[in-house]
Amino acid sequence: MNSIQVGVLMGSSSDWDTMQHAVQILQDFGIAHEARVVSAHRMPDDMFSYAEAAAGRGLKAIIAGAGGAAHLPGMLAAKTVVPVLGVPVASKHLSGVDSLHSIVQMPKGVPVATFAIGAAGAANAALFAVALLASHDPALRQKLDTFRAQQTAAARAMTLPA
């Protein structure tokens, strides 16, 4: 069995509706991955354990989604040099702008790559992870090129009402 390449973490099962879009992309590209709920404020010890073990387990990227005061991506990044890709999940009261600001405004020295709020951000985080892996994997690079070509063809085939 292939070892896990990408971890997909989220702060709550309520984030799954958003984060499933990352998992779907990883499945489509055949990337060995795992998806888990690891909450920064409800399970801080689990979060640190996951981050501390990530490099030794061979993880190449961690996609982390959270909403509200979204500490998860930044605190994971504080404990590992494995690239952390942050996905702001839309929150109930502030529509995810709070999540976005929490994730994107990392102080200098501990980076988190931050994506769009919601499903598009989750999918793009996974595509970014694919691109990272593809730089050392010609077959995966070919799959990514094909994905882009299909997307381009679909856009060119779009029609508008007369």
Q: How far is the CB of 147 from ligand RP5 (least distance, A)?
A: 28
Q: Which of 8, 38, 47, 66 binds ligand RP5 (CB under 6 A)?
A: 66
Q: 68 or 133, CB closer to ligand RP5?
A: 68
Q: Which amino acid is at 87?
A: V
Q: According to the binding rule CB under 6 A, does residue 14 interact with ligand RP5?
A: yes
Q: Please report whether residue 98 would count as binding ligand RP5 according to CB under 6 A.
A: no
Interacting span for ligand RP5 (CB under 6 A) from 62-70, 73-81, 111-119, 154-162 = 62-70
Separation CA 53–CA 109 (nearest Å): 21
- Contact in structure between 115 and 99 (CB atoms under 8 Å): no
Is residue 85 at the binding interface for ligand RP5, with CB under 6 A as the rule?
Answer: no
Interior/surface letters 43-73, b for 16+ CB within 10 angstroms, e for the rest: beeebbebbeebeeeebbbbbbbbbbebbbb
At 150, list the tokens.
């299909």
Judged by CB, which is closer to ligand RP5: 10, or 119?
Answer: 10
